[in-house]
Amino acid sequence: MKSIIIASTSTLHGSSYLKYLLPTLQLHFKNIKSILFIPYARPGGISHNEYTQKVAQAFAQINISVKGIDEYENAEKAIHDAEGIFTGGGNTFLLVTQLYKHNIMQTLSTAVKNGIPYLGTSAGSNICGLSMQTTNDMPIVYPPSFQTLGLIPFNLNPHYLDADAQSQHMGETREMRIKEFHAFNNTPVLGLREGSWLEVKGETITLKGTLSARLFQQNQDPKELNPESDLSNLK
């Protein structure tokens, strides 16, 4: 049975890394002593080791140890043997490229679908959808495919921002960019605001946190979904 936390962000403004999620993660990774961390997205270009150490410090607060996937000789075996898995944020193009480079996109998808508890934040959440095409990230590298894990039957836009009527910025809003996506694709897109996450238990998908999420579907007006909304039938 799938057991997944898909969070918009790892860090809320004015708080430390993962702090707002730690109570949820303590339950999510209950009875797990160690998790496998996938640092490929490398926010700001930090090293895999630096990123892994940052994650380890956060998880130490709930008595869970962390080991980076690049510390293993065989990435595929590391996923198979993992008690739990966390894929962190950063650049989604880089993350997807590395998952394909190491031939573990399908391996990771299968492992999570078979029940290994998974946490994704930001880029690590983007890859939970059907494709990475609704990411906000710059295409700094060229992945062999936009197809991702397919753990949920729609796409995500983490860090979703509402249009600011007072802003002097004249470029595209997030809503406009998602509409551009829907000019060519019919996959639903969920805009996840900061501090919100999805909880996936088996085939049940529930919006968590205190904020609403914004749902975009092709040829329909956007909808606001309240916390605890069930997205299980969204396709």
Catalytic residues: 122, 137, 159
Q: Which residues pair with 213 in a beta bridge?
A: 225
Distances (CA, A) of 76 to 57, 99, 112, 124: 25, 10, 13, 17
Q: Look-up: residue for tokens 């994650």? A: 55
CA separation (Å) from 62 to 6, 23, 53, 217?
Answer: 19, 8, 15, 38
Task: Report the side by side order of strands in the sheet with 213-216.
Answer: 155-157, 189-191, 213-216, 223-225
Please check whether residue 124 is in contact with residue 95, taking contact to mean a CB–CB distance below 8 angstroms.
yes
Residue with tokens 């897109």: 189
H-run or E-run covering 180 = helix 174-182
Rg (CA), the chain: 17
Q: Other C-beta atoms within 10 Å of 30: how many? A: 10
Is 205 within 8 Å of 198 (Cβ atoms)?
yes
Structure tokens at 147: 């197809």
